[in-house]
Structure 1
């Protein structure tokens, strides 16, 4: 309840700001919103009257007495014209609302005299202002509609008001009592309100049926108006609450945009709300780490028996902990937590870890679970250390060779290619033609044009290559076991399946090492492909990386090697 009052007070202060800066436009938008809602209601109501008239031989007795004096066909024509008129009026009002909102948002931003705070701040301001105006209009429409309905049908107005109050009490009570329901409302308030509105509408319908069968029913026209009005009231109530909730979700941004004394700061979790970082605090993690390790199959331990070490992962919102038992220091676990916005990488990593590929240099996943709704992975580790960057660069080549020799299951490959595009699919003329912006000579322009013209040839070579495992940017996550000095990679959230050679380093002697490796030994026997095709794949993969980062000059430097490799493959094909 305290939080609701805080949101209401803040909404009032925001509304006061709007009225001080753009009072006329705010009033116009509220009036236009009411006009649009009433016109929309009438445009649904009048066709029902027309259908009733068309289905009856004379004038129905429950129609207004004034209608009896008019010709039936003329009345149908007038009502049809009025329906079209109200529909067009609602469309016109919506267009005027959009225009007035744009002008008002511009004046509000100009009045605040702030620097650019974030991308699309004009759109954010316009949507926030329109959302507030719509919520305000809904707040005006609901009591007016209930008052008008109560004048003709008091019991129905009381039912709608009573049901709305009941829903409010139930939601607030459940939000405070049930933590899970509170999280559901925070994430899907609109869906919950929509369900409550639909239930309310059917309650109104059921009440009307009972009235007509067992009690004293109202007039037929009043019954129709009640049905339509209840739908509008519940819809406006949903828009009112959802609008205020949406504004509150953006409170830091809106405060910074519209209030002189407010600056943009990072949004901190609300008191009492779950936070990934609060779980990692030493006084908190002792309450869940023993349970997670026990679930993973470790011996039952107490919090004070755990030795916890922070592991530098360089992965935002994916903290990692090395955990061991003081009684059994040789048994080490890697515990990864994933924030709510990192669920997809967590699932992607777990997909590979649970595939049972023995040759993949990754720690063994022994548990994938959740801790307070945060994804959590537990891996079995051997004592060791994370290699420093200088040392890691020297062993990347050995790991890449191990990736090449990993036997992928047909099931995993099929799942991947059905879900994500491969390198050949991602290369397009639109992407390659961006390189023209960095061309500083005629030679560069001709190279880009030739590359685009031979795109189908490039794709053909890529599609002829076998698919292998790729894990980019692994230098900061290489773990070396103390016992046998073997290497594993800790982070697999960005693993991919690409044509042979993709992901291999192209700088220095990288390409020559790739060609030599594929031209002899076990790699030659397994793949039996032209190493030049793998070289081409490595170059094109690096070209895509540079282009995506808009490092077009670096991309242009790769073009001679790419075209030379392509020409070599073409000459070899002619000789054969």
Structure 2
């Protein structure tokens, strides 16, 4: 941690030097303006306390400053009451000045770097970082001034604050260095941790004040109140200072690319470098052994590791053969590590594959889900021999096997509560966009679709749900030596009405009935399903996909076939239309 503090300090000094060289005027103005704003805020909250004390007193209390004694009590109350909103207005004025000078300074820095636009909202990030840096410096000055002031009026409290701050810094540094787990937690939640520590610091300061009152060490009540308020403000500024530094340092790649001419926007950061360093030949054996021991209760003597291609960004997979001391096979596994944190796809995949019913899916058994350091990890059982196959050769048999899988009721209920279903995505906004594209020539078919929409939604909602995997490709579809198909990636699975993701070519729709019959032998709920309704689901899913990709002209060409399918379904089920029932 001390190395990280040293590195961040050097970077912050370099950033401040850049600000001063390129935009000295705005920088030198922003810092004192921020400090004035902070002091004005403090006074705006402090003066009402003095007013309340005066209102509750017969005269001016003796512990008030001597300069107040020359005024009449009522005059002083009026003056302080007027000063309170005046200081608050000063605070607002300084905040506006800081905002304007920050924008000016950031624009000068961006103009000096002479670079094209690097990412979205870069101007906002530059101005916010410029302002945050100035606020951090102003907070540093404020904290130092309060410490000096308390050193004169309340030395013991000053000693407590300085000692407590040093103890927290050293304690965090030691915890970070001695424990990797604690170190990771400190890095991930430093701002929230500092908030807790500052609250504890204020409690200690309050207890010290009470103790000093009880022993009679404090004679002036008003000084105690001021000291307590200054302590609170100091600890709040400390928390904001740390938060500002954490925010600035977390954006250092972008800020370096924006403000420093010699830097470009690199896609790699320290976290990615740490992630990829795990997979070097020297590093991976260690954590693989620990992972297998922890989750599978095996202790391999030797590991035979091969790379497994995933075709998914920030997802690394290793084929691991575990052998004991006598070279006897303990197991063969596919170990996948997700590089992004938090990994939504890893959690989503585990939700499906850890369910007992997943054994009926075309997927390798998921043996365990855990973590390797900061990253999610899944361990699958892997067959000895397999080959990558092209999905075009197996699309129909693979999708029919997905139809045969019946999602557990609890999983389906949780999913439908969390995600918009196909019948919810086909709404009036979609029709409005189709009207925009259709023009006068195709407006009639869009109108027909709009009129048939209630019937369409009724039909689709009545169909059973099935799992759809949009990531079936040549890198994720493999076949074992027994001819069984397995999909190795399920990070983006969805639940859709049966028929979704089925190819909509004329021949495919003709084959649909036979394959639906095959799936119904395993899943009885499909036996009463109308094949034409399934074909309609396939067409609607395709329509939704085309509109999502903004291929509206292609979507318009699909509508006539879709309307024909709707008419065929309704002609076979005259009593099932909600409009007919009305």
Matched-pair contact (CA < 8 Å) for 1:330–1:382? no
- Counterpart of 2:256 in structure 1 is 255
Query: What is the match of residue 100 of structure 1?
Result: 101
Cα deviations by residue, 1:486-520 (Å, 9 ceiling, x for unpaired): 22222111122211222222246333333454478
Aligned to 2:6: 5
Specify the alignment match of 1:349 in structure 2.
349
1:309 corresponds to: 306
Matches within 5 A, 1:15-30: 15-30=16-31
> How far off is 1:190 after superposition?
0.7
Show the 5 A alignment for 1:162-311: 162-269=163-270, 275-297=274-296, 300-303=299-302, 306-311=303-308
List per-residue Cα deviations over 1:353-401 (Å, max 9, x = no partner).
Answer: 2211132221112222222232222122222324232xx2121211111
Q: How does 1:540-555 map to 2 (within 5 A)?
A: 540-555=540-555
229-238 or 63-72, larger mean C-alpha shift: 63-72
3-state SS of paired residue (1:383): coil
Of 454, 464, 467 in structure 2, the residue corresponding to residue 466 of structure 1 is 464
Tell me, in whole angstroms, the C-alpha distance in 2 between the residues paired with 1:155 and 1:310. 62
Q: How does 1:441-460 map to 2 (within 5 A)?
A: 441-452=439-450, 454-460=452-458
Counterparts in 2 of 1:302 and 1:360: CA distance versus 1, 3 Å = same
Asked if the contact 1:330/1:383 (under 8 Å) is kept, the reply is no
Offset, 1:208: 0.6
The equivalent residue for 2:580 is none
8 Å contact from structure 1 (residues 433, 448) kept in 2: no
Q: Tell me by how many angstroms 1:211 deviates.
A: 0.8
Deviations 1:143-168 (A, max 9, x none): 12222333322332232222222222
Contact 1:317-1:342 at 8 Å conserved across structures: no
Question: Contact 1:432 / 1:452 at 8 angstroms: preserved in 2?
Answer: yes
How far residue 41 of structure 1 moved from its aligned partner, in angstroms, is 0.6
The equivalences for 1:320-359 within 5 A come to 320-325=317-322, 327=327, 331-341=331-341, 343-357=343-357, 358-359=359-360
Aligned counterparts of 1:330 and 1:176: Cα–Cα separation in 2:
36
**Contact residue 301 and residue 322 of structure 2 kept, 8 A:** no
Question: Residue 217 of structure 1 aligns to a residue in which SS?
Answer: coil
Q: If the length of structure 1 is used for normalisation, what is the TM-score? A: 0.91
Q: Deviations over 1:303-327 (max 9, x none)?
A: 3xx2222111111122112222464
Structure 2 gaps of 5+ residues are: 577-582
Q: 1:71 to 1:150 in 2, by over 3 A?
A: same
Task: Tell me whether 1:398 sits opposite 2:390 in the alignment.
Answer: no
Cα distance in 2 between the residues matched to 1:550 and 1:82: 60
Deviation at 1:575, TM superposition (A): 7.5
Match of 1:496 in 2: 494
Q: TM-score, normalised by structure 2?
A: 0.90
Q: Single out whichever of 443-452 and 92-101 deviates more from structure 2.
A: 443-452
Residues 1:379 and 1:2: Cα distance change in structure 2 (over 3 Å)? closer
Q: CA deviation at 1:230?
A: 1.1
Structure 1 match to 2:579: none
Are the aligned partners of 1:465 and 1:499 in contact in 2 as well (CA < 8 Å)? Answer: yes
Which runs of structure 2 are paired with 1:48-197 in the superposition (5 Å)?
A: 48-197=49-198
Q: Conserved in 1, the CA contact under 8 Å of 2:202 and 2:232? A: yes
Which secondary structure does the structure 2 equivalent of 1:444 belong to?
helix
Secondary structure of the equivalent of 1:462?
Answer: helix
Report the alpha carbon displacement of residue 221 of structure 1 after superposing the two structures with TM. Answer: 1.6
Aligned equivalents of 1:178 and 1:323: distance in 2? 29
| 1:31-51 CA-partner distances (Å, limit 9, x unpaired) | 221121111111111122222
CA 1:112–1:432 in 2, change beyond 3 Å: closer, same or farther?
farther
2:515 matches 1:514? no
Contact 1:433/1:452 (<8 A) preserved: no
Query: Per the alignment, in what secondary structure is the counterpart of residue 118 of structure 2?
Result: coil
Residue 292 (structure 1) shift: 2.9
Deviations 1:198-219 (A, max 9, x none): 1111111111111111141152
CA contact (8 A) 2:341 2:374 kept: no
Match of 1:76, SS state, is helix
Consecutive unaligned residues in structure 1, runs of 5 or more: none
* Stretch of structure 1 that moved more, 452-461 or 515-524: 515-524
**Residues in 1 aligned to 2:512 and 2:74: alpha-carbon distance in whole angstroms:** 86
SS of structure 1 residue aligned to 2:381: strand
* Residues in 1 aligned to 2:23 and 2:49: alpha-carbon distance in whole angstroms: 40
Question: For the Cα contact (< 8 Å) 1:21–1:111, is it kept in 2?
Answer: yes
**8 Å contact from structure 1 (residues 153, 218) kept in 2:** no
User: Which stretch has the larger CA shift, 396-405 or 464-473?
Assistant: 464-473
Is the 8 Å Cα contact of residues 30 and 134 (structure 2) preserved in structure 1?
Answer: yes
Change (3 A) 1:207 1:323: same
In structure 2, relative to structure 1, the CA distance for the partners of 1:457 and 1:126 (3 Å cut) is farther
